[in-house]
Amino acid sequence: MKPSPNLQATLKVLHLSGIAESLEVRLDQAREETLGYLEFLQIILQDEVERRHATSVQRLLKQAAFQEQKGLEEFDFTAMPGVNPKEIKDLATGLFIERKEHVILYGPPGTGKTHLAQALGNRACRSQYSVLFTTAAKLFRKLAAAKIDGSYEKAMRSFLKPQLLIIDDLGLTGFTQEQTEAFYEIIAERHHTGSIVVTSNRPPGDWPGLFPDQVLANSLMDRLAHKAHHIPLKGESYRKRGRPQKVTNS
Ligand code: ADP
Ligand code: MG
């Protein structure tokens, strides 16, 4: 049964696009299954709720600016026996964001750090948390450029606002004094407002040596690393898998 144009117009005015979309099918279903009034109302309102949820997840995923949509489902835990699946799945519930805790994923290249960080971010979006993914290089580049054009506060806010900030590849190189101060500000400001997921090729124990200012470095480590879930990734690069084997003439 087609809903009348009047009804469609009313649903549009009320921004009930989820109901508008499913109404025709639901009216047929109501007839066939002789649904009660309340039951019918319940079903179409649920359609609206689901549609709104899906739209908001799509918006959050877009805002998160992931490099790739990597899910936890695609992560092969058997390939990384050092990683405890239960620990990752617990983090994927988003409780660490609720508690404003941090996560540090570290290990050699190709062990799935960026994959896992994005998978946690993806789950966070699905649980309605706002997320921003950035590489450390991009974050510092943005802040440095913003300092020049007078938009530093705005740029800094963009890193403070999301409930979860993911910083990929921290510590590939040493930090300048300016970067140390900016990073300290992010850690200190976010301390009470939101979580950070960091990936790094270096274990957190090596980080202090990357900072020129040991006072800031200690304070920073105290706030970030000492209160984080540490996830070490070990072993062979996953990228090497599937590469043709070298043929040796023996
Ligand atoms: P890292 O950030 O540690 O250098 P990535 O997360 O970029 O490594 O992983 C490299 C590639 O291998 C990516 O395409 C990633 O999806 C894949 N990968 C890594 N580990 C796994 C895994 N355990 N299961 C499935 N894919 C993996
Ligand atoms: Mg990476």
| Tens digit of each residue's pLDDT (9 = 90 or more) over 195-215 | 999 999 999 999 999 999 999
pLDDT at 243: 62
Q: Which two tokens stand for residue 155?
A: 């740029």
> What are the backbone angles phi and psi of residue 16, rounded to the nearest 5°?
-100, 65
Please tell me whether residue 228 adopts helix, strand or coil conformation. Answer: strand
User: What is the per-residue pLDDT for 239?
Assistant: 80
pLDDT tier, 191 (very low <50, low <70, confident <90, very high otherwise)? confident
Residue 124 above 50 pLDDT? yes
Region 66-79: mean pLDDT is 94
Residue 235 Cα, ligand 1 centroid: separation in angstroms?
Answer: 12
Give the Å distance between the CA of 115 and the centre of ligand 1: 5
What confidence score (pLDDT) does residue 250 get? 47
Q: pLDDT digit string (tens) for 29-39? A: 999 998 999 99
The owner of tokens 């006072």 is 215
Ligand 1 binding pocket, CB closer than 6 Å: 70, 74-76, 79-80, 109-115, 199, 238-239
Low-confidence winner among 72-81, 112-121, 130-139 (lowest mean pLDDT): 72-81
In which band, very low, low, confident or very high, does the pLDDT at 140 lie, cut at 50, 70 and 90?
A: very high
pTM of this structure: 0.90
Beta bridge partners of 231: 105
Q: Which ligand is nearest to the CA of 133?
A: 2
pLDDT at 193 (0 to 100):
86
| Rounded average pLDDT over 232-244 | 79
The pLDDT-based confidence of 240 (bands split at 50, 70, 90) is confident
Q: What percent of the chain clears pLDDT 70, i.e. is strictly above it?
A: 96
**Any long-range contacts for 14-18 (C-beta under 8 Å, 24+ apart)?**
16/48, 17/48, 17/51, 18/47, 18/48, 18/49, 18/50, 18/51, 18/52
pLDDT of residue 237: 86
C-alpha–C-alpha distance, residues 205 and 165, integer Å = 21
Segment (H or E) for 236: none
Mean pLDDT of the chain: 93
Q: Write the DSSP symbol of residue 71.
A: -
pLDDT at 163 over 90: yes
**Confidence band (pLDDT; 50, 70, 90) for 249?**
low
Weakest mean pLDDT among 50-59, 76-85, 145-154:
76-85
| Whether pLDDT at 242 is above 80 | no
Q: Which long-range contacts (CB under 8 A, 24 or more apart) does 188-191 make?
A: 188/219, 188/223, 189/156, 189/160, 190/160, 190/165, 191/100, 191/223
- Take atom 10 of ligand 1 and give the residue whose Cα is closest: 110
